[in-house]
Structure 1
């Protein structure tokens, strides 16, 4: 789309009226700044036995990744990368991985291990409820 006078004035008017300004991704990695995700409490994700110790499982439909850094300790995070909003695709070698641009996050706390993301994955409260992983 070429920039016309009408497009420029319409965009300027929208910004002046308080419309949110959207920015394309650059190398700065400015993704989401949220520290917690809001997931419906009581949502059953699946058997705890499917979440390997030292790894994790991605529940793509719910956009949640659950990890088990140590035996019996379950951590939940948003499965949406904070860099550009791509879904994370794997959990391996102690990290939650987004293959869109190479960001990696800790399975223990969602902290950025490798950029370009600069913001941790938002937490999702999860627990083992009778052998099932549920949101808390």
Structure 2
């Protein structure tokens, strides 16, 4: 038969149980980073077909490094590349109409410039060089 826990040992064990429970709750608590579109092409080839990006709109795809890349179409044959990682806490932004919105804390960015328009983020999205070739958008 094992000896009973003394008061100090019982408090230590209960503290560990509470700590593990708190960590588990935090892990499930927030929306966390959103993933890029799983159907988006990877950067082993083109990021996306130009026709798949509406003029004045944007799409979020997976870049060559595996992270999210925003491809914004600012004109018939003009595209802008931006990091899809929110500058506030690293969540992936989503293209919503004529804005890029972070689903974690609602920061809003301009898809043509990456400029921060609203929310807790204070820095713009980083730019990514893109090139057009045969109707396809590639990282430069």
In terms of fraction of residues, the more helix-rich structure is 2
Q: What CA RMSD, in Å, does the superposition of the two structures yield over aligned residues?
A: 1.8
* TM value normalised by structure 1: 0.64
Quote the Cα distance in structure 1 between the aligned partners of 2:52 and 2:137.
9
Aligned to 2:51: 49
Q: Which of 96, 112, 116 pairs up with 2:120?
A: 116
Quote the Cα distance in structure 2 between the aligned partners of 1:127 and 1:58.
16
Change (3 A) 1:135 1:42: farther
Quote the Cα distance in structure 1 between the aligned partners of 2:123 and 2:73.
21
Q: Does 1:75 align with 2:80?
A: yes
Structure 2 residue ranges without an equivalent (≥5): 1-42
| RCO higher in structure (CA 8 A, sep ≥6) | 1
| Secondary structure at the counterpart of residue 49 of structure 1 | helix
- Higher-Rg structure is 2
Q: Which stretches of structure 1, 4 residues or more, deviate above 3 A after TM superposition? A: none
Query: How many corresponding residue pairs?
Result: 95
2:57 and 2:95 in contact (8 A); partners too: no
The Cα shift of 1:90 comes to 2.4
Quote the Cα distance in structure 1 between the aligned partners of 2:127 and 2:139.
11
